């Protein structure tokens, strides 16, 4: 049985969770190794490509030090398929009770996406306190996180959407931001040309961000 992580442990591991869109299963293992070499092991593989489940299986089997997470989980069936492919945590763009219940039943952590106070309250009612703020920079960014720190002081956020190496430090400096997520570490063109050293370099920069 593989080690289980809580949502807090996933958020606190490193300052950045890479959000990875994989179109080609051949990229999965070298990409995971490159990120790991740069110090990142919590990897969110988005379920928005037909290769996603095969990529999760390949990484889980060949790169056991990486902790595979499934992103873009939109329904309970997505979460169940991802868990069967080796996912050990889930990230969803929004929150539904069905997704929350499925993850709870599998005893695997979910970072559900929220963009409004009502959505935070719904997730909170179901016992979730570690949330993804999505799409963060489009939906209010730093100002929104500062405003939420009053009424929702006990919630930790992972802002994702529009986050870059440049704006990540300001987000990570906020007391209610535990980690940020983004696709900037795994650009499609860099993966296409197999420049894994570049991915390791970007992962190293991301791992060394302070918070």
Least spacing, CB of residue 91 vs ligand 3PG, in Å: 8
Active site residues: 44, 132
d(CA 144, CA 138): 10
For residues 120 and 139, is the Cβ–Cβ distance under 8 A?
no
Q: What is the rounded CA–CA span in Å between residue 39 and residue 183?
A: 16
Q: Is 134 in the site for ligand 3PG (CB under 6 A)?
A: yes
- Tell me which H or E stretch contains 25: helix 25-37
Binding of ligand 3PG by 186 (CB under 6 A): no
Query: Pick from 131, 182, 191, 203: which binds ligand 3PG (CB under 6 A)?
Result: 182
Q: Is 161 in the site for ligand 3PG (CB under 6 A)?
A: yes
- DSSP H helical ranges for 126-187: 141-148, 168-172
d(CA 138, CA 194): 31
- Measured in whole angstroms, the distance separating CA 204 from the mean position of its chain's CA atoms is 17
Q: How many CA atoms lie within 13 A of 130 on its CB side?
A: 17
CA-to-CA distance for 203 and 37, rounded, in angstroms? 8
Pick from 10, 16, 19, 168 the residue near ligand 3PG by CB under 6 A. Answer: 19
In this chain, which of 92, 160, 176, 200 binds ligand 3PG, going by CB under 6 A?
A: 160
Does residue 183 interact with ligand 3PG by CB under 6 A? yes
x/- track of binding to ligand 3PG for residues 45-74 (CB under 6 A) = --------------------------x---
Q: How far apart are CA 9 and CA 20, in angstroms?
A: 20
34 binds ligand 3PG (CB under 6 A): no
Asked if 94 interacts with ligand 3PG (CB under 6 A), we say no
- Closer CB to ligand 3PG, residue 108 or residue 115? 115
Q: And the tokens for 58?
A: 């390949």
Q: Could you tell me the end-to-end alpha-carbon distance of the chain, in angstroms, rounded to an integer?
A: 32
Could you tell me which stretch among 119-127, 148-156, 177-185, 203-211 binds ligand 3PG (CB under 6 A)?
177-185
Our CB check for ligand 3PG shows the closer of 163 and 199 to be 163
**163 forms part of the interface with ligand 3PG (CB under 6 A):** yes
Question: Footprint of ligand 3PG on this chain (CB under 6 A)?
Answer: 19, 71, 134, 160-163, 182-184
């Amino acid at each position: 049985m593989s080690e289980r992580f809580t949502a807090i442990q996933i958020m606190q591991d490193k300052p950045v969770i890479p959000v990875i869109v994989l179109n080609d299963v051949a990229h999965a293992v070298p990409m995971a190794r490159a990120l790991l070499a740069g110090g990142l092991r919590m990897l969110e593989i988005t379920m928005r490509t037909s290769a996603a489940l095969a990529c999760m299986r390949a990484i889980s089997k060949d790169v056991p030090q990486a902790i595979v997470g499934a992103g873009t989980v939109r329904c309970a069936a997505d979460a169940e398929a991802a868990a069967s492919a080796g996912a050990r945590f889930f990230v969803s763009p929004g929150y539904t009770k069905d997704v929350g219940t499925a993850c709870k039943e599998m005893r695997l952590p979910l970072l559900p996406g929220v963009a409004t106070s009502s959505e935070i309250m719904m997730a909170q009612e179901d016992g979730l306190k570690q949330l993804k703020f999505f799409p963060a920079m489009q939906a209010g960014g730093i100002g929104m996180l500062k405003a939420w720190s009053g009424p929702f002081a006990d919630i930790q956020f992972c802002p994702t959407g529009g986050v870059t190496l440049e704006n990540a430090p300001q987000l990570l400096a906020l007391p209610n931001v535990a980690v940020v997520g983004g696709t900037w570490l795994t650009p499609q063109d860099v993966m296409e040309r197999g420049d894994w050293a570049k991915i390791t370099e970007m992962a190293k920069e991301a791992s060394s961000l302070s918070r």
